[in-house]
C-alpha cells in the first residue's frame, strides 16, 4: 500500500471513530484561540482550559491584554508550563496586534508568525481553526502518529519534513480535519507511552505495530535471583548490561559478554528490545 492510499485509509477510519475532530482548546473568538494556543505549547489542553476563563475575564479583549504588563498576566497563567515566558509573550503579542493590525487578529499564517510567541505550528492552528485557512500544523502527536503509521517516509525527522510529506498525500481540503484527527488519535489511542494498539482502527496498516509484532515473545521461568537480565544467545544471567545501537539506530540493551541483543528482563520475562519510535517536542 502506497502512502497516499495509507493516508486515505487512515483518515477514513479515524473519521468513522472520532465524532468531533476539532480543537479541544476552549475559545470563543480568534483572540481567545490565539492566546490559548500560545499557552498550550508543551502544556496540555486540559490545563490551559483551566486557566483561560479567569484570564479572559481579566483581559476580555486584545486591547485589554495590550495594556497589561507581564506581571499582571502571570498570576492567571501560573499553573501552565513556562508561565514567565508566556506572560511576556502575551503582553507583547497584544501590543503588536493593536499597533500593527488595528486590534484584529491577522488571518494569514505569515502575518500571524510576525507576532511574539507565535511559531509556524501556532500560526497554522489559528489560521485554520479561526479562519478556515487550509493548513496542516504538525505537533508532537501528528509527528508521532504520521511516522508510526507510515504516512511519511523514513527520515521525516522534523515537523517541517512531516508537514511537507503529509501535504503531498492528503488532499488540501482535508488538511485541517486531518490535523485534528491525527492529534486526537495520538492523544487518546496512539499515545507516546503504551499505545492502545488493540483499540486502534488503523492497526492493519500501521508500520509501528508490525515492528512491535516482530519483537520476541516473553520467556517464562527466568530466575531473577541470578541476575537482572538473561541472555538467550549464551544462556546466562547478568546485572550490568552493555548498550548497542541496532540497524535502525535504536539503542538496545546488550549482553556484556557476547554483545547479543537477544536479552530479556528476569523480573517480567519480557524482551528488552524496543521498536523504533518517533518523538519530537511539541
Which residues are annotated binding-site positions for [4Fe-4S] cluster?
190, 197, 200, 206
| Residues placed in the known binding site | 190, 197, 200, 206
* C-alpha grid cell, residue 224: 531473577
Residue 151's nearest CA partner among 169, 178, 139 is 169
Distance from C-alpha of 225 to C-alpha of 47, rounded to nearest angstrom: 44
Q: What is the 3-state secondary structure (H, E, C) of the chain?
A: CCHHHHHHHHHHHHHHHCCCCCCCCCCCCHHHHHHHHHHCCCCCHHHHHHHHHHHHHHCCCHHHHHCCCHHHHHHHHCCCCCHHHHHHHHHHHHHHHHHHHCCCCCCCHHHHCCCCCCCHHHHHHHHHHHHCCCCCCCCHHHHHHHHHHCCCCCCCCCHHHHHHHHHHHCCHHHHHHHHHHHHHHHHHCCCCCCCCHHHCCCHHHCHHHHHHHCCCCCCCCCCHHHCCEEECCCCEEECCCEEEECCCCCEEEECCCCCCCCEEECCCCCECCCCCCCCCCC
Residue 183's nearest CA partner among 131, 128, 133, 115 is 128
> Quick check: 165 and 153 in contact, CB under 8 A?
yes
Residue 39's nearest CA partner among 83, 9, 93 is 83
User: Would you please indicate which residues are annotated as catalytic (active-site) residues?
Assistant: 121, 139
Amino acid at each position: 500500500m502506497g502512502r497516499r492510499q495509507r493516508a486515505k485509509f487512515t483518515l477514513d477510519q479515524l473519521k468513522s471513530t472520532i465524532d468531533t475532530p476539532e480543537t479541544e482548546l476552549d475559545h470563543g473568538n480568534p483572540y481567545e484561540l490565539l492566546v490559548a494556543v500560545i499557552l498550550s505549547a508543551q502544556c496540555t489542553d486540559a490545563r490551559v482550559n483551566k486557566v483561560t476563563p479567569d484570564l479572559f475575564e481579566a483581559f476580555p479583549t486584545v486591547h485589554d491584554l495590550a495594556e497589561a504588563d507581564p506581571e499582571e498576566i502571570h498570576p492567571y497563567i501560573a499553573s501552565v508550563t513556562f508561565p514567565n515566558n508566556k506572560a511576556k509573550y502575551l503582553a507583547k503579542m497584544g501590543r503588536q496586534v493593536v499597533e500593527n493590525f488595528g486590534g484584529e487578529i491577522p488571518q494569514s499564517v505569515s502575518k500571524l508568525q510576525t507576532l511574539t510567541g507565535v511559531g509556524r505550528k501556532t500560526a497554522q492552528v489559528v489560521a485554520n481553526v479561526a479562519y478556515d485557512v487550509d493548513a496542516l500544523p504538525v505537533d508532537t502527536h501528528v509527528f508521532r502518529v504520521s511516522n508510526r503509521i507510515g504516512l511519511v517516509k523514513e527520515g521525516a525527522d522534523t515537523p517541517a519534513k512531516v508537514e511537507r510529506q503529509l501535504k503531498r498525500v492528503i488532499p488540501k481540503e482535508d488538511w485541517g480535519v486531518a490535523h485534528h484527527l491525527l492529534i486526537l488519535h495520538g492523544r487518546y489511542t496512539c499515545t507516546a507511552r503504551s499505545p492502545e494498539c488493540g483499540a486502534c482502527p488503523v492497526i492493519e496498516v500501521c508500520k509501528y505495530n508490525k515492528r512491535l509484532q516482530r519483537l520476541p515473545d516473553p520467556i517464562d521461568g527466568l530466575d531473577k535471583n541470578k541476575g537482572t537480565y538473561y541472555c538467550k544467545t549464551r544462556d546466562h544471567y547478568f546485572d550490568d548490561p552493555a548498550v548497542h545501537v541496532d540497524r535502525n539506530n535504536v539503542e538496545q540493551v546488550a549482553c556484556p559478554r557476547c554483545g547479543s541483543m537477544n536479552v530479556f528482563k528476569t523480573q517480567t520475562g519480557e524482551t528488552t528490545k524496543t521498536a523504533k519510535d518517533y518523538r519530537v517536542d511539541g
